[in-house]
Structure 1
Amino acid sequence: MKLKTSLLAFAACGLGTAAIAQNANHFFAERHSMVRGPYVEFAKRVAEETNGDVNFTVFAGGSLLPPAASLQGVRDGVAQVTYHAGTYTPSELPVANLIGNFAFYNTDPMVMAFASTEFGLTNEAALAEWKENGVVFGGGYSTSQYYMMCNTPVASYEDIQGKRLRMAGGAWSRFAEHVGAVPVSIPSSEMYTGLDTGSLDCAVAAADALDSFSLSDVVTHMNRLAVGNYYAGFEWGYNPAFWQGLSEASRNVLFDQMAYYLAQHRVEFDKDVEKAVSAAKEGGMEVFEPDQALTAALAEFVTADEAVLIENAKSRGIENPEALLADYKRIVDRWAALLADVDHGDTDALAALAKAEIYDKLDGANYGMN
């Protein structure tokens, strides 16, 4: 009923900001760190700071839009802001997926969250891609590091041979093949069933899934090989008509709040991982450090896969992927330096850095306005 009401409200409205149903969409559950801060708390703070001019109704858990429909949904105005995972729309977002598949270059999630945000807000090819898809990019994100969470011991390179690993597609699937495993591309919502029924040996995802997806019930072993982290797409993508109907003051409020929650969600995500892993260990889960052969295989893959990324990007119509990756490397390296001496648990310090180095450099009068 809530979904029907919201859709009817949108259909009946004009373009005036006050008339548009201000829906915020995320397909993770409300208790997830990428929702409870960057959407639930964010919506409250935005409403307060804009004196109610921007008043989002948050729909979590896919209750408004399913994962694969979030990009089209924000373009069409079903949602005014949404999270979107780029893996669901590789044809529509080749630039975002090229960058997202470069997740092995630096596996520090804080660096990659800030770098992907700066890239998405400033790179000309990325900006053109957002515009073509009917979205105003607001900011990025990053999961915590991906680990192998398994229902069987996977401690070494030998152990991983032939194992069925749930992967996020793209580079992750190629890595599985590189080390002799079998990649299985399924949504995160199906990891539990796969491990429980034995159709999967391991789920490769951020370890907060031990709690947020209840994987601790079916996982007996975890390998701490850092298999990248995921950040393709965006944490906040806005409907253009909605964005352009806002006052400059309201857009600046959104910039400030996105700077804060870009940092906040990363701090909270890592806290959730620590809690989930600690609880799972207390419940009997065994944790392995990767052996030298597995670590070496990952390093070999990272070097070799850049050429594959470039070739795949060209096949999807990107004319100069080498230049895009060079720009992204520059931004990643810049953020690695900027964050080197900042406490990764200090939300206020991290948010201040995001504000000063990213959002304060945007022009609230012009960004996303054409």
Structure 2
Amino acid sequence: GDKVRGKEGMVFMGALSEFTFFHCPECNQEFANQNQVYTGSTGGSSYGLVCNRPVETAADLSGMRLRVGAANWSRWTEAVGASPVTMSANEMYEALSQGVVGCIVLASPEIHNFGLADVVTDINMDVPGGPMPVAGTNINANTWKSLSPQQRTLMLRAASAFTAGIPWIYHQHEDRILAEAEQRGVTIHHADEDLVAKTNAFIEKDMDFIATDYQKRYNVSRGQEMIADFRELLEKWAGLVQDVDSEQQLVDLYWNEIFSKVDVSKHGL
């Protein structure tokens, strides 16, 4: 809710990094299978709708084609009665300008990163929500093993700075990009109560879908338990980031709460 608004990336990346290090041996095994060692997750701000027409209700979305970049947003798109379209990022400008899609599901700073400013007329950042995380600093397992414990600790220090830096920068740009868009005449919309309710209902239902789907496709047996653990960590991190008002504070928070607790004599070895 309002507690995480404007801080979604900071909450999510803290929760996901803590979860993967300490609550998911299966995740670390998957990295090991690729001869990699996990050292944290990062990503930007929350995803919304970047459009060429107004969107405030489920009726506005009905039958509309939306460009999505991941399966979770594709499932949301179908749940609200729209059609997901997959295309590469470098086709987004043309698709939006020619009306091939009505909206792109995107984080607002990406409007600038992908040069979409000229073709966006309407923005609604209320739905679908959720950031796009990546494991951005994992390291080759042989290299990790060759490092001294002090060097591994330094690597994790650097990883905590990277994990914090990206969501911090995205959230700093988020307000600026939206303000600049408004100055150019772009309309900022808000989702009506019904669309927010539909989105929340989708999220709840999708948790069960993910647990079942990942069991079938990837043999993940603890799906429900993992989701419950992760949701608890999201709650915890929503509280922890409340008073963060600088990038360094976020780096220190991630270091103290997560990265400094990784046992460099065992992790990835």
TM-score of the two chains, using structure 2 as the length reference: 0.91
2:83 to 175, 182, 188: 182
Q: 5+ residue gaps in structure 2?
A: none
* Partner residue, 1:357: 257
1:140 and 1:189 mapped to 2: Cα distance?
25
Identity %: 27
Do structure 1's residue 115 and structure 2's residue 15 form an aligned pair? yes
Does the 8 Å contact 1:143/1:230 carry over to 2? yes
Task: Map 1:197-276 to 2 at 5 A.
Answer: 197-276=98-177
Do structure 1's residue 315 and structure 2's residue 211 form an aligned pair? no
* Partner residue, 2:38: 137
* Partner residue, 1:282: 183
Secondary structure, in 3 states, of the residue corresponding to 2:128? coil
Aligned length: 262
1:171 to 68, 72, 85: 72
Alignment root-mean-square deviation, CA: 1.7
Q: Tell me how far 1:354 sits from its aligned partner.
A: 0.8
Q: CA offsets per residue over residues 83-132 of structure 1, 9 Å max, x none? A: xxxxxxxxxxxxxxxxxxxxxxx772211011111112222111111112
What amino acid sits opposite 2:208 in the alignment? A
Q: Tell me how far 1:321 sits from its aligned partner.
A: 0.9
Secondary structure, in 3 states, of the residue corresponding to 1:235? coil
What amino acid sits opposite 1:355 in the alignment? W
TM-score of the two chains, using structure 1 as the length reference: 0.67
Do structure 1's residue 339 and structure 2's residue 241 form an aligned pair? yes
Q: Tell me how far 1:243 sits from its aligned partner.
A: 1.8
Does the 8 Å contact 1:143/1:229 carry over to 2? no
Q: Tell me how far 1:232 sits from its aligned partner.
A: 4.0
What amino acid sits opposite 2:138 in the alignment? G
2:232 to 330, 339, 342: 330
Q: Tell me how far 1:133 sits from its aligned partner.
A: 2.3
Misfit runs of 4+, over 4 Å:
none
* Partner residue, 1:38: none
What amino acid sits opposite 2:235 in the alignment? D
1:224 and 1:291 mapped to 2: Cα distance?
12
Secondary structure, in 3 states, of the residue corresponding to 1:149? strand
Greater relative contact order structure (CA < 8 Å, 6+ sep): 2
Q: Tell me how far 1:175 sits from its aligned partner.
A: 0.8
